[in-house]
Amino acid sequence: MLAEIEKLHEEIQQDLDSIDTMEQLENLRIQIVGKKGKLTAYFGALRDLDAKDKKQVAQRLNTLKDTFERLYEDKRQVLGAAQLNAQLEREYVDVSLFNSLKPHSLGHPIMQVLDRIVDYFVNMNFSIQSGPLIEDDFHNFEALNLPKFHPARDMQDTFYFKDSLLLRTHTSPVQIRTMQTHSLPIRVIAPGSVFRRDYDLTHSPMFHQVEGLVVDEAGRISFANLKFILEDFLRYIFGDVRVRFRASFFPFTEPSAEVDISCVFCEGAGCRVCSHTGWLEVLGCGVVHNNVFKAVGYENVSGYAFGLGVERFAMLLHRVNDLRSFFETDLRVLEQF
């Protein structure tokens, strides 16, 4: 029997050498030490031997079993590593490869329009300011000449937190923050997101504005400067349009105006989009109210401010009639821009 066991040992050795998959290894394990395995059978045969042989054979069988387990484990590790390497090889991705088949994104349409707006003002020597999205009552309202219980606060449906904190309803609080931290002359734009409780074809609870603020010593900044730059800006964005200033009201500017361009859909003839007026309102502006300067401790200064909605610009430029399609991340829609 010992001779047979030696033979089995050699056999195992050879089999292990020729194995190159986990499946073959598992089959071998079953063949050798499984319930009906060869080695298991020898252990079973022990009971028919007499005491002297039994001890010797049992010892030999145990050594072989240990050896097999060790060799099995070694082989399992080698095959496991090979399997992992093969998988890594198969799934290798060269991230530095240039894929000319996929279209390259030019960015979200809202950001494309925002970039264009910002480009204009940067070229006109404005610098860029930003402010917090969570504002306090002072910066969003009070300092902008909107005291508590002022009816004009209702113009903007506000999201409130506790302790007079709120989501800013416009970018105008950046006017206040800029004046609090900068000295004259001030020539800034403040692009950013703003929030209002509104949701329909032309309103979204989050949208983007670009604020503009120019302040210098008294007498140096006038409505004429404001009018010039906005006309030039609107023609840069919309092309050959007519621009008109219409007297309006904002608590933080006096005088105030809303600015219209001739309708980009009907070129002023009158259509559904412009409510048959031939004009589209595109921004609000005015000469900075003296109460605003008072709130930040400025004296003997003059300035103008304006604010516009980026989504509105994008809708007009791209002839989109449902604002919400910009925010539903449907690539079929976004890829058209």
**Could you say which of 145, 253, 262, 302 contacts ligand PHE (CB under 6 A)?**
253
Round to whole Å and give the CA distance between 115 and 213.
18
Round to whole Å and give the CA distance between 131 and 179.
12
- 3-state class (DSSP) for residue 78: helix
**Could you say which of 75, 168, 170, 177 contacts ligand PHE (CB under 6 A)?**
170
**Could you say which of 72, 195, 250, 293 contacts ligand PHE (CB under 6 A)?**
250
Contact 273, 240 (CB under 8 A): no
Closest CA relative to residue 311, chosen from 207, 214, 238: 207
Provide the terminal-to-terminal Cα distance of the chain, rounded to the nearest Å.
83
Least distance in angstroms from the C-beta of 156 to ligand PHE:
7
Strands 243-250 and 206-217: unpaired
Contacts of 97 (CB under 8 A, 6+ apart): none
Regarding 208 and contact with ligand PHE (CB under 6 A), the answer is: no
Region from 44-52, 110-118, 283-291, 293-301 binding ligand PHE, contact rule CB under 6 A: 283-291
Q: 291: number of CA atoms within 13 Å, CB side?
A: 13
Size of the site for ligand PHE (CB under 6 A): 11
How many CB atoms are closer than 10 A to CB 54? 14
The burial class, CB within 10 Å (0-12 / 13-18 / 19+), for 307 is: buried
Region from 35-43, 145-153, 299-307, 319-327 binding ligand PHE, contact rule CB under 6 A: 299-307
The residue sitting closest to ligand PHE, measured at its beta carbon, is 307
Least distance in angstroms from the C-beta of 285 to ligand PHE:
5
Q: Which is nearer to ligand PHE, 25 or 311 (CB)?
A: 311
Round to whole Å and give the CA distance between 209 and 212.
10
Q: Give the position of tokens 């004429």.
A: 224
Region from 97-105, 134-142, 182-190, 278-286 binding ligand PHE, contact rule CB under 6 A: 278-286
Regarding 292 and contact with ligand PHE (CB under 6 A), the answer is: no
Region from 124-132, 176-184, 301-309, 310-318 binding ligand PHE, contact rule CB under 6 A: 301-309
How many CB atoms are closer than 10 A to CB 130? 13
Regarding 172 and contact with ligand PHE (CB under 6 A), the answer is: yes
Q: 221: number of CA atoms within 13 Å, CB side?
A: 22
Regarding 279 and contact with ligand PHE (CB under 6 A), the answer is: no
Q: Which is nearer to ligand PHE, 109 or 251 (CB)?
A: 251
Q: Which is nearer to ligand PHE, 75 or 170 (CB)?
A: 170
Regarding 140 and contact with ligand PHE (CB under 6 A), the answer is: no
Region from 90-98, 101-109, 284-292, 325-333 binding ligand PHE, contact rule CB under 6 A: 284-292
Least distance in angstroms from the C-beta of 184 to ligand PHE:
19
**Could you say which of 188, 190, 243, 305 contacts ligand PHE (CB under 6 A)?**
305
Regarding 196 and contact with ligand PHE (CB under 6 A), the answer is: no
Task: State both tokens at 294.
Answer: 């008072």
Q: Give the position of tokens 């930040």.
A: 296
Contacts of 182 (CB under 8 A, 6+ apart): 188
**Could you say which of 262, 284, 293, 326 contacts ligand PHE (CB under 6 A)?**
284
Q: Which is nearer to ligand PHE, 279 or 306 (CB)?
A: 306
**Could you say which of 39, 285, 292, 323 contacts ligand PHE (CB under 6 A)?**
285
Strands 253-262 and 186-195: unpaired
Residues that bind ligand PHE (CB under 6 A): 170, 172, 211, 250, 253, 284-286, 305-307
